[in-house]
Chain A
Amino acid sequence: MTSSSPAAPRGRERRKRDSRVGDKIFMNAARGSGILLLVIMAAIAGFLTWRSGIALSKNEGNFLTTFEWTPDAPKPVFGIAVLAFGTIVSALIAMAIAVPVAIGIALFISHYAPRKIAQPFAYLVDLLAAVPSVVYGLWGALFLVPHLDGLTSWLNDYLGWTYIFDQSRAGTTPRNLFTVGILLAIMILPIITAVSREVFRQVPRMHEEAALALGATRWEMIRTAVLPFGRPGIISASMLGLGRALGETIAVAIVLSSNNVLSLHLLDPGGGTFAQNIALKFNEAQPFGRDALMASGLVLFVITLLVNGAARLIVARRKEYSGANA
């Protein structure tokens, strides 16, 4: 050390400078890709807004309340009333079915099942989260729809008085919003289960044991220790599922037989959703029709943005159970 002291400072100086250059390059590359992601998000919003602006300025109907979608007609008229209704209703049906069942399955895996079943089953649920939506769609159209015939006519017979479950023409093929809701429920079940299961697993063991030591039954332990701890996680998992249900395209496009009628008879074929409408109308659309479709895409984008943003804000404190890696 001491013998090489005259040369050492210069060498160290150079190494320091090199590492600083390397550090700078690397840090800027890393920061640059972060910024790139932001730019992409901004660009998505920007482009869609720009194209929709073009479309909306020439729309002869009211964008929010019109039922028809004929942007390429000589007198362009298009509106999102039917699409918004269909999207929201089918997503709500899906949530109403999927959330309780998913919480049940998550509890089953984390607290009820024998260990030997729980692990493989958790694995299976994760695998099912990866089944492509087009396969769900194919299965929905060729398997689920015929199998729901009986349930549909039963609902029509016995619950027809609720108006919602009344079929205008009894015995029509159930390619309706109700079936779409059931299919979406099956599709979002794995993701909601996966995220809530992770949350339930993180409940401090001490809380559970304390509850049991006080004489609580297993359900009382879950109600007092597990569910309160997991509530933000459940909410964010549900919102993630909702986001997927809202944006689901191809499965809905395959199963639903769409039209531009807004009807509260959920068992009547018809209606539509944002994503399904874009997928079906896109190929035949003229340039202006495409702009109109982009306007509806923008609405969908904003809705999912709000849903996801809300989900993230709810669990901002506990980032570890975001569903991105599920």
Chain B
Amino acid sequence: MSTATTSVPADTRLVNRPLTANRLPKWAPAAVAGGSIALGCAIGAIGGLASHLQWGLISAALFVVISYVLSAQVEGRRQAKDRLATSVVWVAFILAVVPLAALTFYTVQQGASVVDGNFLTHSMKGIRTSGPGGGIYHALIGTLEQVGLATAMAAPIGLLTAVYLVEYGRGTLAKVVTFFVDVMTGVPSIVAGLFILSLWNLVLGFNYSGFSGSLALAILMMPVVVRSTEEMLKLVPNELREASYALGVPKWKTILRIVIPTAIGGITTGVMLSVARITGETAPVMMLVFGADYINTNPFDGPQQSLPMYIWQQYSMVNNDFGYARAWGAALVLIAFVMGLNLIARGIARWRSPKGGH
């Protein structure tokens, strides 16, 4: 910019008029933000608004309005609109950060004092729910077994379906499967639970067990595995397949030895993410596993417990401060488990992501 002005020294009026004349200085948004927060708090304090939520909302509204008006005065309408959009986007960001940060922080704060060695290694058997004590050992075992069984069922089927869609799928059947896989990702978990209940428990006459819960979880997991595996298989460069065919390797061996190993990082990530998702499912487990307060290590026989259901029971059925504390402890363990899985999965994705070959 400066080179253009220096190379045309003839027109002094242009030279003397700096390009940044009618722009707000760089620190303006920060200053406006600070000012509107102060003003918002002042209004809140004077108006006697009890909720700090409202103070924040007033400040946010003030920020948007003030920066628009200021910019419209100094910079003109187009720039003002740009500023309006920018400030709205920033406000949206902050609006989202507040509850999400509050959720994480509050869970850690409430749960950290509850989780200890005793909590992790004891069940609720013989514990009076009106008092403290007890733990989540039985729920941990139940969750691990149910999720493990569900993964053992859903992952192979999902993987094979994805292979079918990417490697073999031509024609109507593939299109129909693709569409219904997409639709299936939206099946509410409680509907999956109802279905397994009516088929497995009512029609076939099986009893409540961890396994019937994992059947429902498998239904929820399958479409997610299919979709993510599909994406990963599509990323495998066609040259690899062609090279393999050129060496006379049959198709099934090419898929098993070339295509899947190339994409295995992404596939693992997808499976782990879907595991993380079904671990937190409450509704189907609640209907099908029934909830026991003792340790039952056999998922095929009798009621079990699971972490999400434990939280639900401690909140809604125990419904006292000791129950809430136990619920927060279990919630912290559950979140830590799910987020840990997520982080590991994304780490694997980073480490072994197939480089796109198109």
User: Which residues of A are in contact with B by a Cβ distance under 8 Å?
Assistant: 18-20, 22-23, 25-27, 29-38, 40-41, 43-44, 47-48, 51, 100-105, 107-108, 112-113, 121, 123-128, 130-139, 141-144, 147-151, 154, 186, 189-190, 193, 217-220, 222, 240, 243-244, 246-250, 253-254, 275, 278-279, 282, 287, 290, 293-294, 297, 300-301, 304-305, 307-309, 311-312, 319-320, 322-325
Given A249-B189, A312-B183 in contact, is the A22-B250 Cβ separation under 8 Å? yes
Chain B residues with CB below 8 A from A33, complex form? 156-158, 160-161, 164
Interface-side segment among B4-12, B114-122, B334-342: B334-342
- Residues A104 and B231 in contact in the complex (CB < 8 Å), given A33-B160, A301-B187: no
Chain B residues 261-294 with CB under 8 Å of chain A are 270, 273, 276-277, 279-283, 286-287
Would A143 and B93 count as touching, CB distance under 8 A?
Answer: no
Smallest CB–CB gap between A175 and chain B, Å? 13
**Nearest CB in chain B to that of A104: its residue:** B92
Cβ of A105: which chain B residues have Cβ within 8 Å of it? 89, 92-93, 96
| Stretch of B33-41, B126-134, B251-259, B295-303 with 4 or more beta carbons under 8 angstroms from chain A | B251-259
CA distance A126 to B104 in the complex (A): 14
Bound-state CA distance A105–B273 (Å) is 22
Interface 9-mer from B14-22, B144-152, B171-179, B236-244: B171-179
Q: Give Cα A63–Cα B329 distance, bound, in whole angstroms.
A: 42
What is the CA–CA distance of A298 and B190 in the complex, to the nearest angstrom? 11
Complex: A191 Cα to B188 Cα, angstroms: 15
Contacts of A244 in B (CB 8 A): 186
- B287 to A: closest C-beta gap in Å: 6
Among B82, B85, B311, which residue has the most Cβ atoms of chain A within 10 A?
Answer: B85
A134 CA / B252 CA spacing, docked (Å): 43
A132 in contact with B335 (CB, 8 Å): yes
- Choose one: A29, A121, A325; the contact of B224 (CB below 8 Å): A325
Give the contacting residue for B335; candidates A102, A104, A131, A293; CB below 8 A.
Answer: A131
B185-A36 in contact (CB<8A) = no
Which residues B43-57 have CB closer than 8 A to chain A? 49-51, 53-54
Q: Are the C-beta atoms of B335 and A135 separated by less than 8 Å?
A: yes
Q: Does B210 interact with chain A (Cβ within 8 Å)?
A: no
> Are A240 and B186 neighbours in the complex by a CB distance under 8 Å?
yes
Check if A138 sits within 8 Å of B231, measured CB to CB: no
Could you list 23 A-B pairs, sorted by A, with CB under 8 Å?
A: A22-B250, A30-B163, A30-B168, A38-B177, A38-B180, A44-B195, A44-B219, A47-B203, A127-B339, A127-B343, A131-B338, A136-B103, A138-B331, A151-B54, A154-B54, A217-B78, A218-B82, A240-B186, A244-B186, A275-B190, A287-B202, A304-B188, A325-B228
